[in-house]
Amino acid sequence: MAKKVVATLKTDTGKGFAKVIRTKKSNKTGAYFFKEEIVATDKVKEFFSK
């Protein structure tokens, strides 16, 4: 799946988007997990400020 996403982002229509990954820590187990999303490039700072 990652290859499809990366290939789509390299096209002309996909240049306005970015794949962002945020690391979070679980309160119960203490393990880390990742939250991935594809957002518009102008919304990247908003994604990380949440």
Q: For 4-10, what is the mean pLDDT?
A: 60
Helices then strands (H, E): number in the chain?
2, 2
Query: Domain spans of the chain?
Result: 2-49
Give the chain's length.
50
Token duo for residue 44: 């990247």
Model confidence pTM above 0.75: no
pLDDT in tens, 11-35: 666 578 888 999 999 999 999 999 8
